[in-house]
Structure 1
Amino acid sequence: MKIKKVDVFAARLPLKEPFIIAYDQYNDMPTILTRLETAEGTVGWGEAVPDQHVTGESWDSTFQIIKHELAPLLINESPFSIDLIHKKFNNKIDGVPSAKAALDLALYDLMGKITGQPVYQLIGGKSHQELQVPQVISIKDPELMAVDAHRYVKAGFRNIKIKVGTDPSVDIERIKAVRNSIGRSTKLRVDANQGWDRIQALRVIRETVDCDVDWYEQPVKAYDLKSLKEIRAVSHAKIMVDEGVHNIHDLVNVVEMRAADMLNIKLMKSGGIYPALALANLAEAAGMPCQVGSMVESAIGTMAGAHLAMGRSIIETNEMVGPLMFSKDVAAIQYHGDVIQFSDTPGFGIEVDEYFVKEITSFSCEIK
């Protein structure tokens, strides 16, 4: 089977409320959706959620890179030639991981549909009984974050992640307020998104020792592995690296420096499922548990991440929360409480609403 057509849609997904993290605020979520079609009519869907602060890509630039540089490389290729295709991508242009992920995901969706298998069966089989998802709370006043957290726990969520990374004094209040609101039986994770320096991070970690935080994620700038190592050396809780690792070369540096306990793999940072598998394998060799993180993707990117998490035992946690944050999505995903549901349907197991995709699309193109 050969790929005969690539459609690219620059769309904006409606959020239930603004999403606020240390470095930006999102009132809606810009995304790039890709649709691959074979000569036989089989269709696979992919997605890019670029982030100028993380992947170095913008919404517009990602659309143009896919349209002019990457998508043409797929015409008349087999979707199963995943290694060759990634080599072609990398020879054509360096970086641009979310642009590459948009096509990589669609290739895996295609492979699953062609073989009649869910994607997780293609990458390792079912490694977990279930995937629990957390609720992620964006930056607000401490009291409001505590109210949100309490409401989510009442709704059945067993894991709460909070965004911090502004003023350390207020961040300490946020962490304490949320812990007090959810009790001790609910797990709590803290993500600073590079918002602190070393001294600030050490202060926050020290002054929240009684909050029983599972881990502190990316407390300092992505490039500052020395500070990350120093923080890890004295932290009572685990330290997770996120923005500091995009590819296996970054991970080698983290492992050699012993700079982190855990790794947050994101499809948009790594360039898709294929390079993400390499990260998971290297992390497993280093004894470093992983998480599949979210860039607030639609149902497409979310289920891609869920299949990745399901297919690798070293991926112990996930944040497949994007669909919970949208007022309407491009496909339906089922959650049973805080557990994401899988089906035996081939590919990512979702039915994309192409009419809604066109409704939220600002501009698009077709490559043949």
Structure 2
Amino acid sequence: MKIQEIEIFAIDLPLIEPFVVSYDTYPSMPSIIVKMTSECGVVGWGESVPDDHVTGETPESTYAVLKTKLAPLLIGQNPLEFERIHELMDSVVRGVPAAKAAMDIACFDLAGKKLNVPAYQLVGGRYHEKFPITHVLSIGTPEKMAKEAAERVKQGYRSFKMKVGTEVQKDVERIRAVRAEVGNEIAIRVDVNQGWKTSANTMPVLRELEALDIDWLEQPVLADDIDAMVEIKSKTTIPLMIDEGLHGEKEMREIIAKRAADKVNIKLMKCGGIYPAIKLAHMAEMAGIECQIGSMVESSVGSAAGFHVAFASKAFKSVELTGPLKFSKDIGNLHYDVPFIQLNERPGLGIEVDEVILAELCQVSVVVK
């Protein structure tokens, strides 16, 4: 089987409400969708959601590198040869993990459809039956975040990821307000998105956070400061998770060697797709580090790809792929049974893409043959 044609669509996914994190506010979510067609007519879908703060890519640069570098390179290649596909992509352009993720995901979708198996069967088979879904609370006032949490508990959610990362003490007030509103039986995970910057800023509030019984503290310091994570880990009983500080094997080796985290947040957009994500999960498992599949607020395409990785490995203990729940209009039909998700048995990613909605949301597109 050979890749015959690749279409690239730059789209803008409409959010129900703005998504606010420490470093930016997103009124909508830019995304690059890839439609990969084989010579026998099988179609695979992929997605790239780049972020200049996290992956070092922009939507414009990603569209360009897909159009001029990666798509022409993969025409005529066998999409089932995942290792070789990544070696080829790495040989022509360094980095750009979100761009490579789009191609990787499309290859897995296409391969699964060709072989008539779900994508998770291509990376180890199904291990988990279902995952609970964590609702992500954007940064807001303590009162607003507490109110939203209470409403979501009524809908069945039993865990929250709180986005913080502004002034440290104000963030503690946000966490305290949500804990007071939902009680002690609801899980709270705190994601700082590098917002506290240093261990010096973080350590003074560790005692307060320990008293609030949070599940873990995620990326309080700048991404490249692994040593700061080591210092914080030595001073608290709260489990620490690294997110932006982990992209690929190089960072994972350092995290393992320095015992810098209890958990890691693996995102397909940071590491280059399904195949690299599975490699990182194997490394983490051997080191006794728990994994989460994280979200860059992808559509049903990228979110489904992340779920297939998580369902195939026992290293994954949590997921936060809630992008499709945040959009007022999505291009795919990934199904959630809130507060759980259970993947279907359909081949590939197991979703259908609505090409009418894709065309409606598309800003620019190109066909590479």
TM-score by length of 1: 0.99
Moved beyond 3 Å, runs of 4+: none
Q: Is 1:211 equivalent to 2:230 in the alignment?
A: no
State the partner residue of 1:178.
Answer: 178
State the partner residue of 2:233.
Answer: 232
State the partner residue of 2:168.
Answer: 168
| Contact 1:133–1:159 (CA under 8 A) maintained in structure 2 | yes
| Contact 2:129–2:342 (CA under 8 A) maintained in structure 1 | no
Give the count of matched residue pairs: 368
State the partner residue of 2:68.
Answer: 68
Deviation at 1:205, TM superposition (A): 2.3
Distance 1:74 1:154 in 2: 48
Q: Deviations over 1:83-133 (max 9, x none)?
A: 111001001010000000010000000111001001111111111121111
Q: Deviations over 1:330-365 (max 9, x none)?
A: 111221121113111101110100111111011111
State the partner residue of 2:340.
Answer: 339
Instruction: Point out where structure 2 has 5 or more consecutive residues left out of the alignment.
Output: none
State the partner residue of 2:134.
Answer: 134
Equivalent position amino acid for 1:182 in 2 = V
Deviation at 1:167, TM superposition (A): 0.5
SS in structure 1 opposite 2:53?
Answer: coil
Q: Is 1:87 equivalent to 2:92 in the alignment?
A: no
| Contact 1:299–1:333 (CA under 8 A) maintained in structure 2 | yes
State the partner residue of 2:34.
Answer: 34
Distance 1:208 1:319 in 2: 22
Distance 1:180 1:161 in 2: 15
State the partner residue of 2:270.
Answer: 269
| Contact 2:133–2:338 (CA under 8 A) maintained in structure 1 | no
Percent identity for Structure 1 against Structure 2: 46
| Contact 1:71–1:367 (CA under 8 A) maintained in structure 2 | yes
Mapping of residues 1-368 of structure 1, within 5 Å: 1-196=1-196, 197-368=198-369
| Contact 1:5–1:366 (CA under 8 A) maintained in structure 2 | yes
Deviation at 1:60, TM superposition (A): 0.3
| Contact 1:108–1:119 (CA under 8 A) maintained in structure 2 | yes
| Contact 1:127–1:310 (CA under 8 A) maintained in structure 2 | yes
Distance 2:127 2:18 in 1: 35
Q: Deviations over 1:245-298 (max 9, x none)?
A: 100111101111111111100000000011111100100110101000000000
SS in structure 1 opposite 2:6?
Answer: strand
SS in structure 2 opposite 1:335?
Answer: coil
TM-score by length of 2: 0.99
Instruction: Point out where structure 1 has 5 or more consecutive residues left out of the alignment.
Output: none
Distance 1:43 1:328 in 2: 22
| Contact 1:124–1:312 (CA under 8 A) maintained in structure 2 | yes
Distance 2:99 2:2 in 1: 21
Deviation at 1:207, TM superposition (A): 1.6
